[in-house]
Structure 1
């Protein structure tokens, strides 16, 4: 007879299962349906997934009920099936695995980081209805997962505690920060939740191992509170019409040991993880003895944004309105440098303007700004581009994502750009919304990047997306993105050729960290009739290198680069990152006139140094 869940976690690390929804997606089941309804329609499919995780070594299983509440099920006309779906979820899991496994009823956030018009009373009713069904079905405990607000977690926990004394696990979604979405520090949130009766607390979803590690490193142990960790398999990329997660099983397994050292006693996987990831975790944790001490935090530098001092908004003289050559004209004449500089995630533009001024003084030819990269909400690049042009005389290049705007919003955005004289843009697909900081938001994708390029060029002909005349012609210069960090470069180039056929004027690549790959990119693309800006992003630390290589779609670091960054952080890490960047520039500049530098974590001085290195090699800085 197996011990109780509380007792087991007091003695050893228990491995949980992996993803359900994304695994079903990988198996070919369609999106846009209720996977929870499969408990009734396809119970054999759900049972088989549980069985695969059991065979991989998992011994704690979440029921397939994450969104099985009245609010979420009503979108599919299933609001009257709440009880049946939840009870079936417990029964399927129980029958699919051995007697040595624990079955916990999965209860997901209803607000999902959005306030919307859902009252506390509605939340209580929804949680009560679902939890009652899970308990009637015979669950060994409850898992409240992917919560963003302490307020909502407390509501769900209080409902659970009114209904049962069984163990309750609570998990927040984090991107590496220190607070919940409603502004409460995780340390305080954990203490409040423990006082309200939570048995196990931790994190899942929203980020891969790196983000959760950074959050855990900032926490102090709460007496008698085991931690639970279920990370994603890195960040998802959108490749050939499918979502693909980049973290390999061995990487996730290595981080499972780090989680255990930080106090995690329940470790599993969330989005993108598979039975192979869980099997690797089980192997890594075999024989693991829980530590009584705790390793010191490393400063949380990997993948994080370091805050800078607030400064007054910089005032600069308005630049003359004289016509200037486009980036296309410049890059045909000389080396040309574009630097990416992220807009703020808050309402303070001081640091942003300070960095932009430093980049402008270093002689960059254009400052480019992402469009909510990684689906994380930032200040709109449209007004920030206007400020850079008006106050600093800079040339802004705005990214525009297919994800966030429908056809109406996209044309409106572009018309606004035209009105204020911002005529350079980079078209991207955009990372899926569900993996950003507002996962309840919708990914629009009214058009592909190919279609958007064509439609922007249609504006240049004075024709609206609808086909109606616009009275004037726009003058957009359109860039397209290119990821050379792929197994089959020739296929990626074929896709790139289609973007050029659609009207792309020049190309900007994902960061490259290998001189040999730079050579391969040159040889594979030299037949193209448009300029290519080769992408470089300096690394700031070993942790940052690990994060980029394992979790960020479209980025691969060479083994040599990772070895050189080993053990480095802080100033020494950034110094090595700049040195590696200079060596990559040495390899790139003889082949490419276009240089695209991506500023890491707001360390704009690194981009300044690399920009000045370019001008040092060419013997002059542009006037």
Structure 2
């Protein structure tokens, strides 16, 4: 019997947790159950049998965390672990079926279980997709009827994999997303939009949610949604939220509460119900006994009507910088560094000076070179409110995890910020790494995709426009390839590293001819001979020719150095004029007096 046929007459009950249940039985919440496929196959088999006897009719293989990065194993050992998991699940079904003839009329389906492969900066997207495909190949070779992708925050990494699976096999394909109690994934995508995205992929047979939240929050999230009519709907919440007990994370036994919520959720039109972290065979037994297998409310027949509160919209925030850029006029952006301490008055004065000198936007660096300064977004908000200038705070991936990043972006938006520069960020200086950790939950492209989703979900009427950094060094085709990835992720413009050499000016010209985008060319006038030699020798990615440095000398006065720096900047601007969309001034030590001396065409 195919699963689709079963679902015509029955609501499908899944098993519960494997990882947390295994760890609880072993008394160690740090154990990884996937290794037990090789080391303790009988133990895993017994857990599977418990779930089947409890009433589960969808059994997940013990492979959720069976990626090479998680298990720290090679491809051969990974394959052995996955194939062992398939064999164990099949043995469990066979043994229980022989013991209980009633199960023959209620078949047990086995799902090859796949969890997210964690982001690893040393691996490419293509390599990770290749690993997903190989895992799926094993499940197909093992003739499993179902493949389940669970606990995903979006479809970005698995869209290609899902299409690949359906081209090779007619397996029943389930995609489960993980959201928090507010109904958003770690990528900032709303639960309803995740289901909408799944609904548009014909290769997906069933979609829904697992993990992330307990049954109460899961029920509340589902109540606010309209289910896609072309998919079976699945929900597998956690037992609740773990608590620390004797240095262990444990889930409270709240099976009755769990079942009560799942009964309410099922009546919304769920086709498949079960449990995730913290649930046990006891939970599944009560669930199976409580939900009528004969009463099926197909999601396609359910329409949830929602009343939307009509809010009076405030006037749109004028984005003069982006409008000018879009119209093909050259724009001027000037970068300021926030202070190291609470003495912000000079930054306000600099911003006022730049406003009076017709600068289009002020960009605010985000703790450059990994040294803590006033938060770039908060300092930008201060400039908006005190000076009334357009701002573009830099947002780097180094210092904020996914939760803090989303909070910061929402905070920027409600404080009228509509432009951002999204960068991966400088690493923490080596001398501080023993006491300061970098986060890097995202790289710049991932964060841009996150921001793109936030624009669609939260800011569709008035989006945030964001740019990316352009490091023009290296092979031009590779530079353009990365720019296109950023553009696909929503980057509306690019700001380059400082430009000095004629060959780099020509590189920018060639890049501009290969990609249709807006480029603000970096201009950084030196304040002294020492400043020039420091940048030339200490800052990676900035090419300063000797002839530029030689135009300074150690005995120059500040005024003389500024005149030379302004002359060089003006010459570079003249050479860039034909193809630059604007200029991005990086002024060492916030030396805004340069702007009086530079000729901007």
TM-score by length of 1: 0.47
TM-score by length of 2: 0.48
The structure showing larger relative contact order (alpha-carbon pairs under 8 Å, at least 6 residues apart) is: 1
Which of 1 and 2 has greater Rg? 2
